[in-house]
Amino acid sequence: MSEAETFTIDFEEKVLTITEKILDMDSIPFKILQISPTISYKYYVSKPSKSLFPTVFFLHGFPSSAADFAPQLAHLISLGYGILAPDLLGYGGTSKPHDPQEYVWRTMSAHIAAILDAESLDTVVGVGHDLGSWFLSRLYHFYPSRFRGLVFLDVGYAVPGQKFDVEMINRMTKEMTGEERFRYWDLFTDEEGVALMDRNVESVVSLMHASPEVMAANLGPKDKARDWVGAGRIAQSHFFGDETNSYFKHKVAMFREGGWTGPTNWYKALRDNLSWEDEKHMRKELEVSVLVVGCGRDMMTVAGLQDQLTKPWAKDGYRFEVLDTGHWVMMENVERTNDLLVEFLTNSSEQRVTW
């Protein structure tokens, strides 16, 4: 672990001083598992050091990797919990197939099941952030017996049973808020757009970590994301500081090496409903304890909406909390995120004597 770094950022006309410990992921063991002749996964893993403590399984979102959960991984390990955190398909040290068909939920869920089997993990507590929450929503239904609890960060449960329609969502958000919120999908799902992202990696990383206001203004409306990336813009402030910060440099290096094709294939697979045949008859109910942590300042996801989308389907215990953060809750408020996770794990273990 390196020394703490202090940054000053200006969000919502107030200055916040954040002291953030940048964790060295090299201190957490990792493995490479060959799933098939063409697919391998990198994942970080540590077995529980205390009897009856569960393993907590983390699914990151976009644009991310297992490293963005470093503060949670280190904290849980120190308390005796097990952890498992893969770089998901298309990211980091994991394979990055170019065919969107490789990114259907059933296929990626089978990859995760193979990792659980390799680690002899019968059950885990799942934690998802952003698109990782969508993945967790489907993974649970493919393998319900392997989960003892579900935690959704920023993005809540994505109920199956209806085709995904980003155009409909844009129409709905415009009716509700006066603005479309998901026009960045136009950039992410267009080959020329992805090529533009590959040429301007710093600009993409900057936009996706900017203040909530900058993100909303330049991701939601039509052509704004393309204009931002095409101009190579860099935000004046991010939750971690400016572009000289080591976190920013790490992310830029990761996506410069791996490219954006793999990560954006998740969006293409969703847009084209490549998983529809598997989803259309899925159960909707969640038969395990559920925690949703909303981000009070994320203008794209809207915390209250995530509660409304999740609560009706949680049939075995539900808790909803809102933290005063933007999108990257697990790094913007490390202490409270960690506290909520441990409280959830403690309460869940009290309900179930064995895991």
Q: Indicate the residue among 271, 301, 323 that finishes a domain.
A: 271
**Which residues partner with 210 through β-bridges?**
238
42 and 111: one domain? yes
Same domain, 266 and 174: yes
- Is residue 20 predicted with pLDDT exceeding 60? no
pLDDT score of 349 more than 80: no
Task: Specify whether 160 is located in the same domain as 184.
Answer: no
Looking at the structure, do residues 347 and 297 belong to the same domain, yes or no? yes
CB 59 within 8 A of CB 76: no
Question: Does one domain contain both 207 and 252?
Answer: yes
pLDDT-derived band at 7 (thresholds 50, 70, 90) equals: very low
My answer on whether 83 and 204 are in the same domain is: no
Q: Are 322 and 154 in contact (CB under 8 A)?
A: no
Considering the domain architecture, whether residues 10 and 96 belong to the same structural domain is answered as yes
Q: Is 89 contained in some domain?
A: yes
Tell me what the pLDDT averaged over the chain comes to.
Answer: 91
pLDDT band at 174 (very low <50, low <70, confident <90, very high): confident
| pLDDT (mean) for 56-80 | 97
User: Domain for residue 26, yes or no?
Assistant: yes
pLDDT in tens, 287-320: 999 999 999 999 999 999 999 999 999 999 999 9
Q: Which of 203, 237, 271 is the last residue of a domain?
A: 271
Range in 33-42, 142-151, 271-280, 345-354 with the lowest mean pLDDT: 345-354
Number of Cβ atoms within 10 Å of the Cβ of 49: 12
In a domain, residue 134? The reply is yes
Q: How confident is the model at residue 352 (pLDDT cuts 50, 70, 90)?
A: low
Cα–Cα nearest to 93, from 260, 267, 254, 263 = 254
Residue 346 structure tokens: 């403690």
User: Which of 224, 249, 271 is the last residue before a domain boundary?
Assistant: 271
Which residues are within 8 A (CB) of 1 and not within 5 positions of it... i.e. 6 or more apart? Answer: 21, 22, 23, 24, 27, 74
What number is the average pLDDT over the span 16-27?
52
Domain assignment present for 214: yes
Tell whether 252 and 299 lie within a shared domain: no
Q: Identify the pLDDT of residue 179.
A: 83
Q: Mean of the pLDDT values across residues 275-279?
A: 97
Separation of first and last alpha carbons in the chain: 31
Q: Which range of residues forms the domain containing residue 216?
A: 166-271
Going by pLDDT thresholds of 50, 70 and 90, the confidence category of residue 241 is: confident
pLDDT in tens, 69-100: 999 999 999 999 999 999 999 999 999 999 99
Q: How confident is the model at residue 3 (pLDDT cuts 50, 70, 90)?
A: very low
Helix (H) or strand (E) holding 126, with range, is strand 124-129
Q: Is the domain of 155 the same as that of 183?
A: no
- Does residue 276 lie within any of the structural domains? no
Same domain for 34 and 75?
yes
Co-location of 312 and 293 in the same domain: yes
In this predicted structure, the answer to whether residue 110 has a pLDDT above a threshold of 70 is yes
In terms of domains, do 322 and 301 share one?
Answer: yes
Domains in the chain, number = 2
Domain CATH code at residue 32 = 3.40.50.1820
